[in-house]
Structure 1
Amino acid sequence: MKVEQIYTGCLAQGAYYIESAGEAVIIDPLRETKPYLEKLEKTGAKLKYIIETHFHADFVSGHIDLARATGATIVYGPMAQPEYDVYSAKDGEELLVGDVVIKVLHTPGHTMESSTFLLRDESGKDYAIFTGDTLFLGDVGRPDLAIKQGSVTKEDLAGYLFDSLREKIMPLADDVIVYPAHGAGSACGKNLSKETFGLLGEQKAVNYALRADMTREEFIQEVTAGLTPPPQYFAKNAMMNKAGYENFETVLNQGKRPLDPAAFEALAEAEEALVLDVRDRNDFSAAHIPNSIFIGIDGQFAPWVGALITDIRQPLLIVAPEGRAEEVITRLSRVGYDNTLGYLEGGIEAWVAAGKETDAIENVSADTFAARVNKGLVDNILDTRKPTEFLSEHLDAATNFPLDYINANMDKLNRNETYYLHCGSGYRSLIAASILRARGFEHLVNVEGGWGTIKNTDLAKSDFVCPTTMSQEVIDQAVGEFI
């Protein structure tokens, strides 16, 4: 028996490959099928099942294309009812794969169709559980993502989750390995561990949601407390996973079209396309196409695209580092942004050589920023970190302006004012600056290095605010100001 976790850091997502006696299973695959097909070709195994733990909201799965390519059967647990052919397994049903067995455990709570899959080894011993978003390391799946699918409330789902954990998962042995669908960085839970797998016994000891003395009411209260609105693309991705989607190769071939500057500009105007610049942030600051938006490929690229570009069918044109256009298109498709029309051949250098106009955003070091603050030259500071980050420590003169909610809060700013923006590192603040710039804000300065470097400047200690406690009530109130 072979079990392999295939972890994708930018999405904090784990897919899984299981093989036994020449037969294989893939659980929760990403959108592109090539890596899985290459693995199958290398091992010579036949893919028997493609298992989906639930309708994912934070990425578009590759199950449909993979089934077409291999003839494997797509398997969901009870209550899924997608709009394409699948095998709907019953609670408690056992699937034979080579010399091992995978048992279906219906574990509703994160969503109603959520299921956990228990792997038993060749000797019949419980070996591992693939929990999807039912159980993470350090947390459980949020119970508010499926409430629009019917009359069920987040409290109802939390109650189902309590029952699922205690009836289906907690009775399993402590040495069973937990393989979740996500780790730290995912918005599918509140406080996921940076570890990507662990033992069930450890989770029983440290995971707040698995406390043995916790009542159902306490569980519901704790699991539903402090939930912020999910990113807007979550519901759209879940629907694509349920209804189906365009073939990935078609999406890739359309997006890989190289365009010279004239064709690029003409297509942007004709299709009202958004120009998405994914280069290094310093390169973007120095020169970029006017009205383009920066979301760097080397950061949390796909989740920020999904959070900030509200139309999932928005036509996109790409400005990318040399040789990385295919990577950009692939990562966009993972979160359902399939309408990429092409990329700028030759990059910004070709644009400049063609005599086209460029724009820039002032980028200053933390020391330069501190010197200007000390001289009284800075009137408006926008801290684009999350409310919880801001509450933990911030500049007294700063206003929290979270990137997550920029589209809803832009009207609070004055286009005639100059704004200095910072985040934790300079990545999110430059995204915010690019969006504001495209919306007509001309007086923007990004602080490179962000909070991590601002703290080490010669700003007076009295300029910093460092709260010692953050109650849930305080957090909820802070988040509520933006939603």
Structure 2
Amino acid sequence: MLFRQITHDDLGCASYLVGDTKAGVACVVDPKLAIEEYLAVSRYMGVRIEHILETHNHADHVSGHGRLAAATGATIHVHRLAAPEYDHEPFDDGWELALGSVVVRALHTPGHRPEHTAFALTDTARGPEPWAVLTGDSLFVGDVARPDLAVDKEEGARDMHRSLRELLALPAMCEVWPGHLGGSLCGGPAMDMKISSTIAFELAHNALVAEDDPEAFVAQAISALAPQPPNFQAIVALNRGPLHTGRPPLEPLTPRQVAAEQAAGALVIDVRTDLQFDDAHIPGAICNPAVRAGFGTKLAWVADRDRDVILVGRDDEDAKAAAALSAAVGIARIGGYLAGGMTSWREDQRPTASVRRVDVATLHAQGGGAQILDVRERREWDAGHIAGAVHMPYHDIAGVPDGLDPNQPIAAICASGQRSAVAASLLLRAGATQVLHVAGGGVGTWPEPLTATPAPEHVPGPA
């Protein structure tokens, strides 16, 4: 039996290549947009990719089913309720696909979305019972999927509870291989970075899975929902719509062209490290390091799908890699990249801006010398925050937040320094004149006790 987990680490997505090397046939479950690894592994293992299976219409990333079907001639299969516009073979609960001695069985598991389906895997050469289940966006390691991306959240949670009962009926030793790892917006805060688990382990250690009472499960499942993935409705539309078999061209731009595109309204995204950005960057650019996990998610929060994006890297390869990550979240209007990277901008003697970096100890030692903006999510703020700080999640910053003086120092802080890097650049872009990027730590290392009193809910202003 051939079994490979292939991940998209930036988005925390997991896909699977499953097949039989003796029969020379395989399928791919939930392919990511970059299909080269599936082609390379299948070629190396001597199998043909003849089938593509989708657990559901994904809401957080663009599927590679179109590109993979074009490259291999494989048939795409998805549950009947998905109702996509592309050519496919629909299936229902209980449908089976034979790949040599390997049998893939569909388990309709609504909750995350109505069409959601898990796939039980049986290696008939070894035994009749499923040895693994690809749970997609239903059961995760340590958590369950969010229920609010297609239906009312309470209705979705009730469906999720029923679906989990079906999954728990699988053999205790059955391995659990999820569609997402820790860091994905499709799960909750308890989702683990571990790549797999078992039915028995999740039943014993996953609090939501072990909850038998449906109403108690619903209450817990919806109590700590994170903000919905940015552009999720547009991404679902892309995944349901006509097949996309290629990628848009990526044009190199001179510094003069970048400046002209920015003046015409293009959004400049600097994908270098936050340290390089803080040192010098194009004025008005947004910091979003592509070397850090979550680049695509952050980009989808701050970018407009109907507006050109210009990428600035350390060099051309930096920008090209970031363009591939951008496409995975449906940000396809890449107007080009700065040829030669930031070095060419500086060689052209064009203006630059910078951000002052401080650590938590330095910020604390300043006492009242800076206004503090906490840019974490609301549930993190409620759990504990610095007394006197102002709260606004980084992705809601469309101007200088109320309660802050744009002409006085503003320190952007998060949990580690990654989100605060994005926030600091957004504050500069909004007109703040003295922005501090708190790096190398965050709220959790503040020397004084944190305040856990919930603040009033912030209502974002117009973008």
The answer for unaligned runs of 5 or more in structure 1 is: 148-152, 468-473
Where does residue 135 of structure 1 map in the other structure? 139
Report how far residue 246 of structure 1 moved: 4.1
Aligned amino acid, residue 294 of structure 1: C
In the TM superposition, structure 1's runs of 4+ consecutive aligned residues that sit over 6 Å from their partners are none
Where does residue 372 of structure 1 map in the other structure? 366
Structure 2 distance, partners of 1:156, 1:369, is 45
Given that residues 266 and 310 in structure 2 are in contact (C-alpha distance below 8 angstroms), is that contact kept between their aligned partners in structure 1? yes
Where does residue 3 of structure 1 map in the other structure? 3
Aligned amino acid, residue 480 of structure 1: E
Where does residue 150 of structure 1 map in the other structure? none
Residue 332 and residue 208 in structure 1: after superposition, are their counterparts in 2 closer, same or farther (change >3 A)? same
Q: Do structure 1's residue 358 and structure 2's residue 352 form an aligned pair?
A: yes
Where does residue 390 of structure 2 map in the other structure? 399
Report how far residue 179 of structure 1 moved: 0.8
Report Cα offsets for 1:160-198 as digits up to 9, x if no partner: 2222221x2111110111111012111112121221211
Question: Greater shift after overlay, 442-451 or 285-294?
Answer: 442-451
Aligned amino acid, residue 265 of structure 1: A
Within the candidate set 50, 55, 58, 1:56 is matched to 58
Residue 440 and residue 359 in structure 1: after superposition, are their counterparts in 2 closer, same or farther (change >3 A)? same
Partner SS for 2:71: helix
Q: How does 1:415-430 map to 2 (within 5 A)?
A: 415-430=406-421
Q: Do structure 1's residue 437 and structure 2's residue 428 form an aligned pair?
A: yes
Q: Do structure 1's residue 465 and structure 2's residue 458 form an aligned pair?
A: no
Report how far residue 405 of structure 1 moved: 2.9
Residue 421 and residue 27 in structure 1: after superposition, are their counterparts in 2 closer, same or farther (change >3 A)? same
Question: Greater shift after overlay, 337-346 or 326-335?
Answer: 337-346
Report how far residue 199 of structure 1 moved: 0.7
Q: How does 1:190-269 map to 2 (within 5 A)?
A: 190=188, 191-211=190-210, 214-244=212-242, 246-248=244-246, 250-251=247-248, 254-255=249-250, 257-269=251-263
Q: Do structure 1's residue 326 and structure 2's residue 326 form an aligned pair?
A: no
Report how far residue 31 of structure 1 moved: 0.6
Structure 1 distance, partners of 2:33, 2:445, is 39
Report Cα offsets for 1:298-352 as digits up to 9, x if no partner: 222111111222x223211111122222211110011011111221122222112
Report how far residue 81 of structure 1 moved: 0.6
Where does residue 12 of structure 2 map in the other structure? 12
Q: How does 1:257-336 map to 2 (within 5 A)?
A: 257-270=251-264, 272-299=265-292, 300-309=294-303, 311-322=304-315, 323-336=317-330
Q: How does 1:77-116 map to 2 (within 5 A)?
A: 77-116=79-118
Given that residues 409 and 482 in structure 1 are in contact (C-alpha distance below 8 angstroms), is that contact kept between their aligned partners in structure 2? no
Report how far residue 242 of structure 1 moved: 1.0
Report how far residue 245 of structure 1 moved: 5.7
Structure 2 distance, partners of 1:351, 1:394, is 39
Structure 2 distance, partners of 1:448, 1:222, is 33
Given that residues 109 and 117 in structure 2 are in contact (C-alpha distance below 8 angstroms), is that contact kept between their aligned partners in structure 1? yes
Given that residues 134 and 141 in structure 1 are in contact (C-alpha distance below 8 angstroms), is that contact kept between their aligned partners in structure 2? yes
Question: Greater shift after overlay, 231-240 or 292-301?
Answer: 231-240
Given that residues 224 and 379 in structure 2 are in contact (C-alpha distance below 8 angstroms), is that contact kept between their aligned partners in structure 1? no
Where does residue 470 of structure 1 map in the other structure? none
Where does residue 29 of structure 1 map in the other structure? 31
Structure 2 distance, partners of 1:382, 1:292, is 20
Given that residues 271 and 311 in structure 2 are in contact (C-alpha distance below 8 angstroms), is that contact kept between their aligned partners in structure 1? yes
Report how far residue 465 of structure 1 moved: 2.0
Given that residues 271 and 318 in structure 2 are in contact (C-alpha distance below 8 angstroms), is that contact kept between their aligned partners in structure 1? no
Structure 2 distance, partners of 1:17, 1:185, is 22
Where does residue 181 of structure 1 map in the other structure? 179
TM-score, with structure 2 as normaliser: 0.92
Report how far residue 86 of structure 1 moved: 0.8
Structure 1 distance, partners of 2:400, 2:355, is 21
Question: Greater shift after overlay, 402-411 or 50-59?
Answer: 402-411
Where does residue 374 of structure 2 map in the other structure? 383
Q: Do structure 1's residue 118 and structure 2's residue 120 form an aligned pair?
A: yes
Where does residue 480 of structure 1 map in the other structure? 457
TM-score, with structure 1 as normaliser: 0.88
Structure 1 distance, partners of 2:67, 2:291, is 27
Where does residue 159 of structure 2 map in the other structure? 160
Residue 448 and residue 154 in structure 1: after superposition, are their counterparts in 2 closer, same or farther (change >3 A)? closer
RMSD across aligned positions (CA): 2.1
Aligned amino acid, residue 77 of structure 1: H
Report Cα offsets for 1:211-244 as digits up to 9, x if no partner: 26x2222222222222243033222211111114
Residue 130 and residue 448 in structure 1: after superposition, are their counterparts in 2 closer, same or farther (change >3 A)? same
Greater share of helix: 1
Partner SS for 1:390: helix
Partner SS for 2:28: strand
Report Cα offsets for 1:29-71 as digits up to 9, x if no partner: 1111222122222222111211100011111110111111111
Report how far residue 479 of structure 1 moved: 7.8
Structure 1 distance, partners of 2:320, 2:456, is 37
Residue 479 and residue 60 in structure 1: after superposition, are their counterparts in 2 closer, same or farther (change >3 A)? farther
Aligned amino acid, residue 188 of structure 1: C
Question: Greater shift after overlay, 12-21 or 221-230?
Answer: 221-230
Q: What is the number of residues matched between the two proteins?
A: 453
Report Cα offsets for 1:337-381 as digits up to 9, x if no partner: 1111221122222112112111112223434323322xx433x11
Given that residues 94 and 105 in structure 2 are in contact (C-alpha distance below 8 angstroms), is that contact kept between their aligned partners in structure 1? yes
Structure 2 distance, partners of 1:246, 1:265, is 31
Structure 1 distance, partners of 2:300, 2:28, is 25
Aligned amino acid, residue 49 of structure 2: L
Report how far residue 435 of structure 1 moved: 0.9
Identity of aligned residues (%): 33
Report Cα offsets for 1:109-162 as digits up to 9, x if no partner: 110000011111123321111111011112211111002xxxxx2222222222
